[in-house]
Amino acid sequence: MPELIRNGVAIDDTFAEAFGMRATGIVITADTPEWAHQAAVTMTGFATSVIASGCEAGIDSELAPSETPDARPGIRVLLFAVSTGALETQLQMRVGQCILTCPGTACYAGITGEEQIKLGAAIRFFGDGWQIAKRLGARRFWRIPVMDGEFVCEEKTGLTKAAVGGGNLLIMGRDRLSTLHAAEAAVAAIAAVPGVIMPFPGGIVRSGSKVGSKYKALPASTNHAYCPTLKGRVDSALTPDVGSVLEIVIDGLTDEAVRAGMQAGLAALCALGAESGLVRIGAGNYGGKLGKFQYHLAELAP
């Protein structure tokens, strides 16, 4: 099987296996872009994996004042979970703990979807009876009195069941720092794709996992086949020239969005080429047995 090589970088003949998820989105506005950003990173910080964070969340895009309901600077955040109930709970908890609390913010529906879930409708009770509902046309907002004025929060936001989570790229390089620089470039390219997030820190996970463990209590453990210090000692997927591996996980509102994200990431990595320290690009899957969606690298490579 002839190997696929771009700019000296080998692209594995494999696919990323991804799963259907439920997703929602909100738009956070504030007095300045910096405060909107602060609210967004606080809300999405501890939301890297559904394994133990409850949901996966991240920033989709920044919005200019002309693009937000109240004409203030804004950020669109997306959340992904395995079930509608989990998604609703996580959304309300995070908005209540991280957006309500952040100075000057307001919160609005971020996506339209087949269904709606409660947003301000759950947060309003914080007003202790002093909250005000305001229906403007088809949209309803809650105004909750808080110490800096009012927290305005739209009553509901959309829910989509067409979301996909777990698109991924495995970036294999000669050493840790050059692999990291390559992953950063891929993250920047994927961040520009609308409707996707990369839930891990800075978009990158250094501790890619496999299902199962020798310890009965653990659902997942280190993906030993991709650990460079175990080369030769385990049944390794790595070739001797690979010194470090990083993974980027992509969640998107639609199959097409994840596909576009993977394509953008691959293009950025191939543009860097082997001289950057990149050796191979791969992807993680479960043999196609678990997930409904597959993203074949050979189809997506530039």
Q: How many residues of this chain interact with another protein, rule: CB under 8 A?
A: 18
Of 134 and 292, CB closest to another protein = 134
In the list 5, 51, 64, 71, the residue contacting another protein (rule: CB under 8 A) is 71
Q: Interacting stretch for another protein, rule CB under 8 A, among 52-60, 143-151, 213-221, 227-235?
A: 143-151
76 sits near another protein (criterion: CB under 8 A): no
Dihedral angle computed from the Cα positions of residues 38, 41, 46 and 51, in that order, rounded to the nearest 10 degrees: 160
- Asked if 35 is part of the footprint of another protein (rule: CB under 8 A), the reply reads no
- Counting contacts by CB under 8 A, is residue 133 touching another protein? yes
Task: Give the one residue of 5, 51, 64, 134 binding another protein; rule: CB under 8 A.
Answer: 134
Judged by CB, which is closer to another protein: 135, or 289? 135
Question: Which one, 124 or 259, has the nearer CB to another protein?
Answer: 124
Please identify, using beta-carbon distances, which residue of 120 and 208 lies nearer to another protein. Answer: 120
Give yes or no for residue 106 binding another protein (CB under 8 A). yes
149 binds another protein (CB under 8 A): yes
8 scored as a contact of another protein (CB under 8 A)? no
Asked if 130 touches another protein (CB under 8 A), the answer is yes
- Minimal distance, residue 125 CB to another protein, in Å: 15
Given the rule CB under 8 A, which residues bind another protein? 29, 69-72, 106, 130, 132-137, 141, 143, 149-150, 152
